[in-house]
Structure formats: structure tokens, C-alpha cells
Structure 1
């Protein structure tokens, strides 16, 4: 059977069960009902099928909703290419950094309960951060550069964690001693607790002074620990009891149960060395509940999360946060004099910088202006993705959100660009 026929068969089978899989989000009678052209949406389907055929990606799930109704919910290619298992709409993915908006929402819920404020010092919840120093490069007389430790000019805040201006970073091998120290100290050890992770980071130098620089980082992992301290609950339990259960996101957690193992998406060999990416199986359970990237989910579940945002903080009669909290999360939180970290150019069109017409809210990037960024969208749309290939965006002006799920680190940027282009070209009213 051809790839296209496999995908078509999978999509047909899921379409018959769409109301159940989409968990209460209604489906349009036709895309034209909400301003899309079916003939133009076919371009998106054709391009994804072409990508599968050309070995660009193993498979994907696309969910498009407008005006609170599902316009398109389809699967392409393979859930497991090597085993020739077709992708289906209920496939579960490792969503990596699409965990960040969920954990940030958890912290905002605690803000609404008076258990924390965004202006609080991180050291209020993790005392070791009061003594964390900042590594500053200093040029010596002989022309070489050494790193000198200085105190924080102003303390790192919860707000800094949410918008990645904390001075923290991610570990990376190379010349930067701060990033190398993350690897040496094993700050991303999956066998540690959130408390142990936070204490390790507090002992290491910050890469930048808090509040001065946008550096994508382990900030949301530290925020996860703040949630634990402020709530008195483990992060995974708080998210389950306060977010995923109320929103009926039954396939969203830090791992899937053993009976769901067969629904997990598998990556394919890719990259210059034609190797399998190191993506954990959806059922693997780790001690470390990574607030920055540890969760699994489905397209339908994440759609419910976005629909709650679209509804101003509530869904199906369950209110998680107020409309004003949603407004705060989805506004640009970066100050006008913010700098971009030295390596942040790697985000390309997704960089939350003024030169890309974007900023960063609380948990995701935010578009500020029309026309500067090479990707289509609207001012005030917001988005983020995961390193394993998943991606979402919500365009409030167009009452539109899109969830794109795949497990392909190699293809992630390319297909994020393509999804923006192909969704907006199909929307004519």
C-alpha cells in the first residue's frame, strides 16, 4: 500500500470517530463554513504526503480549528515507519518544550490564589538562588579572556523564569564555560528530583545578569520547582489535578501508561549520520519531572488546552484562570532594551527579537507587528514548539489555532514554516 493510501485510510478511520477523539470540540460541516477553502487545504495535505514520500518526516498529525470548531484533523504517513504502522489522530507524542506553556499556566494559577507573585524573588522559593553569581567575561592584559564572578545586580524573579530572562541557559559542549558546567554537573539528569535539579543550578554561575538578556534556558524547569514549593505538591500531581483532569486532557502527562505504548509515535533515522534521534518512548518514566520539556500529549488534548486560552481561561464550564491572566500571559513581556543571547540566532524566524517582529510572553513567543517576520500571521498571535518536532500557534485575531505533531528534530523548523504558509493560504475569509 502506498504512503498516501495508508495516510488516507488512517484519516478515514479516525474521521468516523472524530467527535470522541476531539473530546467535545465540534467539527465544521465543511471548511468553507469558517472561511477556509477545501481545495486550498488540499495543498497542505499534498505537501505533507510529499514530505513522507520523500523521507523528510516519518508522519504527522494536523489539527486546525477556527471559531471554536475543528476545520481539519488529519494524519499523514507513519506512526512507526520501520514497522509500517500508519499514523492515526490519537497518536501520542513527546512534546518537549510544548510542556512550558502548561507549567507556566500552573504558576499563573498559583498567582491567582495569592501563593506567589511574578515579582517574587526566585530565592523566596529556592533559597540557594540568593547567592548565585553571574559569570562576566573580562579581558586580561595578555589579550585572553577569563570569567569573573559578580553578584546579581537585581535578584532573579519568577517573571524572569517565565520569560527566559533569568540568566540561566541550557548545557552545551564547547568554549562557553557556563554552558559546559551544565553538562559537567549533569543538571538534566533524568534520575534527579526537581529539588535536586534546582539546587545544582543555583550552585552554577548565571550566563547573564537577570532581566538583561533573552536566553532560552532551563528557566521553566526551575519554575516547575517553584510550583512545587508554592503549592506543596509534586509538579506532575499539580498539573494532573488542576489542569489535565479538569480540561479532560486524558493523554497528557509526563509519561503514558503501559496500555498506551502502541499509540506512541516513533522517529525515523535522519540527519547527516542517518541516526535515530534520542526521543524517549512515551511510556518511559523519569524521576525528573522536567517543567521545560518532559510531557507527552496528543493533538486533540493540546487543542483543548488552546481552546481554553481562546475562551479566556475556561472550557466547558471549567475556569482555570481569569481572562486578564490570559491577557498577561499572551502579551510581550520583554523590555524594550532586552538583548538576545549570543546563540539565539539559531531560532531563525522564530527568534523573539525586535528584528523578527516578535517578543516573548509567559511561556511562549508573541508576534508584535505585521510584516517584519517572514512567516504569515497576525499581531498578538503566540506560539511555541518542541525540539522533537511538535508545534502550535494561536492567532486570536483570526480566531484560529493549529496543532502540528511529529517526531522529527531534523525537519522541525522547515515544517513550522510550511505549516504557517499552507494554513494561511487556505484561509480566505
Structure 2
């Protein structure tokens, strides 16, 4: 059964003094989106509280887990996370997470407003200051049909945020002396010689280097279309081979910038050739596992191939499950939590003791800039990764996008978080709600 619209479900929630003798006064909650926000006086124990609530639809039943709740009667332990489930008589479900004394109401309000403005199912956000996580939270629905809420453990397709991961892998191989930025990729002396066709004579494809692919200056463009999305029946190897044989360069390598997804797909093959490992295995072993990240992986194509804690993707105009994610591995294939990606950002921060790459190498890319952003977008996916003033790192993810203007949601979320960070002074010592 489908989830309720966000404005339905419960219409009132409170802790009344007459039911809770330890309360000096009634505490009325605010219901916003999928959140029940309660401010209790300092020092009030939460291990046994009785809630009063009113469902919007008469006859609805309210549960915590599988336990039926009775307004003004059922006591619960609210010292840990509590999620209410409201089930209407016709089986529709909505869920609410109870939050006490939120430290970041301005972020909560801004995220709920963005969800409503862009009709997003859900959003996840994580913020670090230096190498310390200072905020992490989920909003809205991970799955509208089951009314599962977004949590800090929700996995999202990150789309083009996969490219910074691939860049870091290339930098690591350069640092280890296994690769050079000036190495040619195709042709007689190319890294991938023997794996792909020889470039046509005088095509200049043999001049393309690792640096050109990193910088989107290979000379190829997306005219007449982006080859990574053009024919879903082809493998990555077939697409690259067709590109070499059938698409002449429009510019001399190294002279003209053109954002090019296939370039990073090719870099994934370079990583495999140099390391003798699959692209994902090398990234996991080199970067992710040492950081304690075990859930990041290349996404599946279909709903049936989704993994535990992965969100459902929504896009009315285009099927989010029509893409071959494995062939997009190095340019757009990963799934991750927002916290995972903030941990990765710390890894490429020269000020962090966890940094695994030399300052000189990082400064040869945008990783060395005090301010930089990277957006990701696919049908059903929006992702944002930003370094701000060489101090803050943040990641925001959503499980939908504006299909007519694919960067619109990312730009808005980035603007909102940037403004909130720059205007907020009282960040806590550790991450909290």
C-alpha cells in the first residue's frame, strides 16, 4: 500500500502533564513532514513517557514496532529512537520519527521546505568540520510504498559523485609510481593497448593522456549524445571500442573542456589494467575498508537488485531502473550513505591526519581548492558534495530530481546548506539531531 502524503497521518501529538507526573507542564509537539519534534524541559527522564496523539483519519491504528498504541495510555521508552507507524483502515501507512530538543531546527525546517518545494521523497545530509562529523540526519521517505524513513544508514545512488572517488584512485596510483598523468591511454604505447582497437591513423586519439581524462579535456564531446547513455545493450568495453572507431575527436586533446562521462569510465579500465583488480575491489581495499566503510558498492540495475537499506528511486518522467549501473561504475555507479561520502572527503583533505594522498597531488586537482563542489544526477537521484572555506565538508542526497532541469535540486540543496553553515555559529562538539 502507498504511504500517506506527508501532511497526513497524525494531526496532533503531545506529552500531557496529567499522564506524565514528572513533567511540570504539557509539552505539545510540532509535526513537520515525517518528524515529531518535542521540546522537553532539561533533565526530564524519557525512559517512560505516555503520549497523546490524534490520527487524521478515524479508525486508524497507531503502532511502535508491532505494539499497538493507545493515546493517553501506552507508556514507552523514548531514551532511544522511536518511530510511530500509522495505518489507516484501508491499509495506507505513514511513519514519524520522534525527536527531542533538536539542536538544528533551522536545518530541519530548511530540509522539510526543500522536500515540499521539489516534491522529493527523502533527503540525507552529513556535515563535517575538519575531520569531525558534526551533523548527520535523514528526512522524509526512503520508500514511499512501505513508508520506510530515510536514516543516516540509508544508501543512495550517488551518480557523478563517483568521479571524485575515481580521481582519488588515480592519484593514489600516481603517488605509488604505478601511473603518470602523462601516460597515454590508447595507441601503440597506451596503457590499454591490446584491450581496445588501435585508433584510426591521424585521429589524435593516441594523444589522450590520463590527465586529459581526469580534466575532461580528451577532445571528445557528447555530440550527438552522451555515449554512456546511448545504448543500454552495450557493455563498457563495446562503448569504448565504438568511441575509438566511430567518433572522431572534435578538439585536440588537452585544449578544450567538455564534461565527459565516458572519460571516467575509461579511467576505471585504466585502474583495472594497472592494478590487476576490478575497479570496485581496488577502491574498496585502498580507500573504503581502511575507513571502516563496508556498505559502499556498485549499484544494481533493478528494484530486485537493491541491497538492504538502499532507498527506492522515484522519477515520473523516466524509469530510474532502466540503466546499466555496472558499466557506469567509475563515472556514476556507486551507492553510499551521506556519512560514507563525508568520510571520503576527509580522506582527500590535506589538513586531515587521515589524508591518504600527498598535498602536491591533491593541489594538482580541485581537491586542493578551499572551495569546490561536485554534483551528481540521474533519474531518481540527486547528490551534492561540497568543500567550503577549507573547513567544512558536506554531502546531501535525495532519491529524485527535477528531470527537466537535472541540476536544479542539487543547486538548491547546495545553496541552502552553504547558507546555513555560514550563518550558524553554535555547532556542537559531536554529530547530533
- Residues 1:89 and 2:152 are matched in the alignment: yes
Q: CA deviation at 1:67?
A: 3.2
| Conservation of the 8 A alpha-carbon contact between 2:338 and 2:396 | yes
Q: In the alignment, which residue of structure 2 is the partner of 1:385?
A: 375
Tell me how far 1:108 sits from its aligned partner: 1.2
1: CA distance, partners of 2:372 / 2:385: 9
Deviations 1:399-427 (A, max 9, x none): 21111111222133332333323332325
TM-score normalized by the length of structure 2: 0.65
2:365 alignment partner, one of 318, 329, 333: 329
For 1:249, which of 273, 293, 307 is the aligned residue? 293
**Where does residue 343 of structure 2 map in the other structure?**
304
Cα distance in 2 for residues equivalent to 1:15 and 1:213: 57
Instruction: Give unpaired runs (5+ residues) of structure 2.
Output: 1-8, 11-30, 38-45, 47-76, 82-101, 403-408, 428-433
CA RMSD between the two structures = 3.5
Contact 2:125 2:136 in 1 (8 A): yes
Aligned with 1:293 (options 324, 332, 344): 332
CA contact (8 A) 1:111 1:118 kept: yes
What are the superposed Cα offsets for residues 95-135 of structure 1, whole Å, 9 maximum, x if unpaired?
010000111111111112222100111221133576258xx
Shift of 1:307: 1.4
Q: Indicate whether 1:407 and 2:399 are aligned.
A: yes
Aligned twin of 1:421:
419
Residue 100 (structure 1) aligns with: 163
Counterpart secondary structure, 2:291: coil
Deviations 1:313-343 (A, max 9, x none): 752xxx6322322222336xxxxxxxxxxxx
Q: Which whole-Å CA distance do the structure 1 matches of 2:313 and 2:362 have between them?
A: 34
1:69-108 deviations in Å (ceiling 9; x for gaps)? 2222111111122432221111000001000011111111
Q: Give the drift of 1:310.
A: 2.3
Describe the shift of the 1:295–1:250 C-alpha distance in structure 2 as closer, same or farther (beyond 3 A).
same
Distance (Å, rounded) in 2 between the aligned partners of 1:71 and 1:181: 38
Map 1:13-412; keep pairs closer than 5 Å: 41-54=104-117, 56-123=119-186, 124-127=190-193, 131=199, 151-152=203-204, 155-170=207-222, 178-180=223-225, 182=227, 189=232, 192=235, 194-203=236-245, 204-217=247-260, 218-255=262-299, 261-269=307-315, 275=316, 277-280=318-321, 287-288=326-327, 290-311=329-350, 315=354, 320-330=356-366, 380-387=370-377, 388-395=381-388, 397=390, 399-410=391-402, 411-412=409-410
Alignment deviations for residues 358-392 of structure 1 (CA, whole Å, 9 cap, x no partner): xxx8xxxx5xxxxxxxxxxxxx3122021121111
**In 1: Cα distance, 2:79 partner to 2:178 partner:** 44
Deviations 1:189-208 (A, max 9, x none): 4762x433322221222232
Larger Rg: 2
Hey, which of these two has a bigger chunk of strand by percent?
2
Distance 1:156 1:212 in 2: 11
Query: Partners of 1:15 and 1:225 in 2: how far apart?
Result: 49
Structure 2 vs 1, CA of residues 187 and 320 (structure 1 numbering), >3 Å: closer, same or farther?
Answer: farther
Shift in alpha-carbon separation, 1:55–1:182, aligned structure 2, 3 A:
closer
SS state of the match for residue 264, structure 2?
A: helix
More helix by proportion, 1 or 2? 1
**RCO higher in structure (CA 8 A, sep ≥6):** 1
Q: 2:320 is paired with a residue of what secondary structure?
A: coil
8 Å contact from structure 2 (residues 348, 356) kept in 1: no
For 1:153 and 1:299, locate their aligned partners in 2 and report how far apart those are by CA, in whole Å.
Answer: 37
How many residue pairs match? The answer is: 323
SS at match of 2:243: helix
Alpha-carbon distance in 1 for matches of 2:78, 2:350 = 26
Unmatched runs of 5 consecutive residues or more in structure 1: 18-37, 134-149, 171-177, 270-274, 332-360, 367-379
